[in-house]
Structure 1
Amino acid sequence: MDDVLTGQVWTDFCQALERAGKVVLRETAPATPLDRAEGFRYLTRLVREMLYSTVENADPDFPRLRALDLVKIGADNPDNVYLSATIRGDRTYRITGRRGTIAYFSIGSKANRYAKDGTMASTGELSNNQLAANSDGTITIIASATPHEGNWLPLAPDSTGIVIRQSYLDRSTEVPGEWHIERISEGPEVPGPLDPAFLAKALQRAALAVHGTAATFAHWTELFMSHPNELPDFGQEMFQRAGGDPEIFYLHGYWTLQPGEAWVIETEVPDCPYWNFQLDNWWMESLDHTHRITVNKRTAVVDAGRVTIVVADKDPGWGNWIDTAGHTSGTALLRWLGATHHPIPHCKVVRS
């Protein structure tokens, strides 16, 4: 392929990444040194993840479940262990493993279109209460386009990936499961040599995915900015189209605070197996997990079925404190998982 021989494929890749950098410099994004540095670090994380999924782990005949390594996309959950694998909708796969003791498990097949239109449609889902274990305690899941007995994960013609979410309530005591994936439909026994045409397309897809992902969630933040210091229901369809868990009701928001101010969030807590609140930066990355930036059903102090969350740069000594970790603005998310009732919080800004 001429573009590979001449090096044009690499030049095009680098130039596409340069264009992606303009997302960080958009007028609506905060121009503080911290926020801008996090924006460019966000792009480096996206580059690493997209290359890892489009070049190194892109063969749907030889899939491998891989963990995200400090890659934070679209309000990643600090309580989650994420695993993903590249697949094709016309193949059949077997996923095997043990459930572990972690509080919540779900697996979904996805059609990743971030590079095209900013969506990641769900094409099949399985969760905790739908899984049946084998006699030895292991779990076997078949992912295919045609129905299968037992634990069946549907695939669609345009399915491109499988995503496993495992959510902690208590990291100090719970153990996540261990999972493996293999293709069981007909196909090659060993991978072939690198195809130059594949590499050219993979680099193009990676660059488009970096730009598309960054732009998608920047647009989301700009939407959230229309209701500062609130957690309204912006409608669930947009979040589901971007790869959200169908069992989760998402309440996203944008926050901005002056020195000495606190954002107070008060809400009823519905009966559900899991919920959490987290604080994110402008790029919708969860803040540094070494700070107190999240609470969930197990770690929050709840009083008579209600919870008060206080976002501030210092602990005010009341409520469930969430540390802004050096930021003065950003995004946030409250998740209700598996609830039949979805309370909308009352929010206000007070002097701390």
Structure 2
Amino acid sequence: MSAEQRLLTGRAWDDFCDQLKLAGRAIERFGDEPDAQDRAEFYRFLTRLVRNGCERFVENCEPNRPRLRDVPWRSTINFQSPDQDHLLCEFDEAREYRITGNRGTVPYFVMAAWNAPIPRDHAARDWAGEGFAALADFDVTRLNTTGFLQSDAIDFDAEGNFEVWVGGAERARNWLPLTADSCGLLIRIVHLDRANEREPVMRIERVDGTAPSPIAPADVASGLAKAGNEVLGYVELVRAWWQERLADLPNMLRFSRNLYLSNGGVADRHHAFGTWRIEPDQALVLSFTPPETETWIFQLCSMWQENLDCYEDGLGYVNKLRAHYEPDGSVRIVVSATRPALDGGNWVPTWGHVRGGMSLRLIKTETPPPVTVHLVQVEDLAREGWGYLDNAQALMTGEVTA
């Protein structure tokens, strides 16, 4: 059956819905570990994935009308930073594009191209019946960065205007190459002081001047297949990271370039991931000395890799600008349900959770720092002060692996 026939007969829609049902049942793969709050957030996470997938692949995937669109509100994926905005552009094949715009007053951004395993006949096939095994052949979330261009390497005029060429013949400057199988772009806009910065403005267009065309049945069949696949892919990603890739990192952080790059990362940063597990009367204290870097941010997340605060009140993370520093330049971060009555330090509340993920990213730095972690009773820390950590057993983490 062709992609057009699948859409017109309703089969593409049915398969999309069946993929969502399959994703919803994936909570069973976590056994009894998720509590009621974790489960509530899982289903909310699914709705955010659906919004994200439909926005990316149904609304914003027209071959003749490329767009740079930010992700839907509160739809964060894979430890997305509160200090970053993501502009996405999806396309069906590599062509030559031009991005024009103005950088605003943000200090840094990076453009990246990627590919992913997407069969050419994906819109003509049913996928839900294959279950999660289908991700071996079709997985829009298994992103591989094929090239990136940092704002440091872009020429700007006095007003901050710029022009970047994407794909096509190689250019000496202001050029982001595409491979034959490139299927999308991601622009990471990095803020240092979001409230006082002017957002950049960017627009993308096809260089060949092809006019936009009406939506076709095959286009919608493709979008539905990709949107459903995205939900399955990210549900499997959080499961694999929680149960396999991060399973040996309770209350630890590990800088792994391979792990970070496995999901569309760019090599302009070091990014550590880990999990945290603490009881309501405990505190996790992380200490490190930030090296020279454009910026850094630590954030606390749920099992589903979403910031616990969802950026609403600014309490789910600590960054370079907001952090309280010790006299020696080091930083202490306290993760706990209640804030210890101590001077100094940086408190990140657990928002009623007892488990989740955490990450520490440092952008444009040569070497990540070691991180000292203490798991202590909140009462002991509040009573004895920071000196209590001198005699408490410490866990050295922040190790660097390939």
CA contact (8 A) 1:103 1:174 kept: no
**Where do 4+ consecutive residues of structure 1 move more than 4 Å?**
none
Q: Structure 1 residues 258 and 66, CA, compared in 2 at 3 Å: closer, same or farther?
A: same
CA contact (8 A) 1:95 1:181 kept: yes
Q: Which letter does structure 2 place at the counterpart of 1:68?
A: V
In structure 2, the partner of 1:76 is: 80
Larger radius of gyration: 2
CA contact (8 A) 1:221 1:284 kept: no
Deviations 1:208-267 (A, max 9, x none): 12101221122112221322001123x211211211121111110100111110111111
Q: 1:100 aligns with which of 91, 104, 107?
A: 104
Output the CA distance in 1 between the equivalents of 2:30 and 2:173: 52
Q: Structure 1 residues 27 and 275, CA, compared in 2 at 3 Å: closer, same or farther?
A: same
Deviations 1:50-70 (A, max 9, x none): 112211111232111111122
Matches within 5 A, 1:1-352: 1-27=4-30, 30-69=33-72, 70-113=74-117, 116-117=138-139, 118-134=141-157, 136-185=159-208, 187=210, 189-191=211-213, 193-222=214-243, 223-233=245-255, 235-288=256-309, 289-291=311-313, 292-303=315-326, 304-316=328-340, 317=342, 318-352=344-378
Moved more, 75-84 or 104-113: 104-113
CA contact (8 A) 1:142 1:152 kept: yes
Deviations 1:6-51 (A, max 9, x none): 3222222111110111223322574222111111111111111111
Q: CA deviation at 1:301?
A: 1.4
Output the CA distance in 1 between the equivalents of 2:351 and 2:218: 45
Output the CA distance in 2 between the equivalents of 1:314 and 1:29: 26
Q: Structure 1 residues 90 and 99, CA, compared in 2 at 3 Å: closer, same or farther?
A: same
Output the CA distance in 2 between the equivalents of 1:219 and 1:97: 38
Task: Classify the secondary structure of the residue corresponding to 1:162.
Answer: strand
Output the CA distance in 1 between the equivalents of 2:346 and 2:70: 30
Q: Which letter does structure 2 place at the counterpart of 1:342?
A: P
Root-mean-square deviation (Å): 1.9
Q: Structure 1 residues 260 and 136, CA, compared in 2 at 3 Å: closer, same or farther?
A: closer
Output the CA distance in 1 between the equivalents of 2:92 and 2:58: 15
Moved more, 24-33 or 118-127: 24-33
Q: CA deviation at 1:89?
A: 4.9
Q: Structure 1 residues 5 and 290, CA, compared in 2 at 3 Å: closer, same or farther?
A: closer
Output the CA distance in 1 between the equivalents of 2:269 and 2:25: 32
Q: Which letter does structure 2 place at the counterpart of 1:268?
A: T
Q: CA deviation at 1:106?
A: 1.1
TM-score relative to the length of structure 1: 0.93
Aligned-pair identity in percent equals: 33
Q: Which letter does structure 2 place at the counterpart of 1:220?
A: W
CA contact (8 A) 2:167 2:176 kept: yes
Output the CA distance in 1 between the equivalents of 2:282 and 2:164: 49
Q: Structure 1 residues 150 and 232, CA, compared in 2 at 3 Å: closer, same or farther?
A: closer
Q: CA deviation at 1:270?
A: 0.8
Task: Classify the secondary structure of the residue corresponding to 2:318.
Answer: strand
Deviations 1:270-296 (A, max 9, x none): 111111100111000112223411111
Figure out how many residues of one structure are paired with residues of the other and give that number. 349
Task: Classify the secondary structure of the residue corresponding to 2:188.
Answer: strand
